[in-house]
Amino acid sequence: MSELRLEDCVNETCPWSGDPVAADSLTLYRGQVVGFCNTGCRDKFETAVSAFDAKIATSEASRV
């Protein structure tokens, strides 16, 4: 995976804290670079998204 860049980030402030995003706290979400103020906020987001994605996948599979 290529390195994520701050200038490609879709947001300027962390959605959890409201603080400015940091270059070491970026992640890729739905093909877009999303930023957070620190790696803890980034990791919290990644954990939450993974949990929801798993629930959605399970729900969709049960409908087939």
- The b/e string for 48-64 (b: 16+ C-beta within 10 A; e otherwise) is eeeeeeeeeeeeeeeee
Q: What is the pLDDT of residue 38?
A: 98
pLDDT, tens digit (0-9, with 9 covering 90-100), for 37-55: 999 999 999 999 999 988 8
Q: What is the pLDDT along the chain (64 residues), one digit of tens a residue?
A: 479 999 999 999 999 999 999 999 999 999 999 999 999 999 999 999 999 988 898 888 888 7
Helix (H) or strand (E) holding 53: helix 39-62
d(CA 51, CA 24): 23
d(CA 4, CA 27): 7
User: Closest by alpha carbon to 36, among 21, 24, 23?
Assistant: 21
Q: Across the chain, what does the average pLDDT equal?
A: 93
